[in-house]
Amino acid sequence: MKKLFIGSLPPTASEDAVRELFTPFGKIHSFKLAKDLFSGECKGFGFLEMEGHEARAAIAGLNGKSFEGNFIKVNFEIDKSKRGGRRR
């Protein structure tokens, strides 16, 4: 199972529309769209889980594709523990 980061989503993006975009590439095991607490609009990103080969196909097919006027970014999620940051 691979977790994907979906970025540069427009504020008008809905969970159903994003699911529909990824469904041709395989089964979606989990999906979370980040939404503003007060307005309920999309914050511009979300996370999705798919099988490895399906996730790679989704990245190849959707990264840089136009979606509701924005060019979306689709890539594997970066493990927080392996990101750069302050050293102690």
Q: With residue 70 as reference, give the H or E element that holds it.
A: strand 70-71
Q: What confidence score (pLDDT) does residue 78 get?
A: 84
Percent of the chain with pLDDT over 70: 91
For the segment 19-61, what is each residue's pLDDT rounded down to a tens digit?
999 999 999 999 999 999 999 999 999 999 999 999 999 999 9
Beta-strand ranges (E) seen in 13-60 are: 30-35, 42-50
Collapse the DSSP code of 1 into the 3-class scheme (helix H, G, I; strand E, B; otherwise coil) and give the result.
coil
**Domain limits for position 36:** 2-78
- On whether residue 84 sits in a domain, the answer given is no
Tally of domains within the chain: 1
- On whether residue 66 sits in a domain, the answer given is yes
Q: What confidence score (pLDDT) does residue 2 get?
A: 95
**Dihedrals φ, ψ of 69, to 5°?**
90, -10
**Dihedrals φ, ψ of 73, to 5°?**
-110, 130
* Residues constituting the chain: 88
Average pLDDT rounded to a whole number, residues 59-83? 91
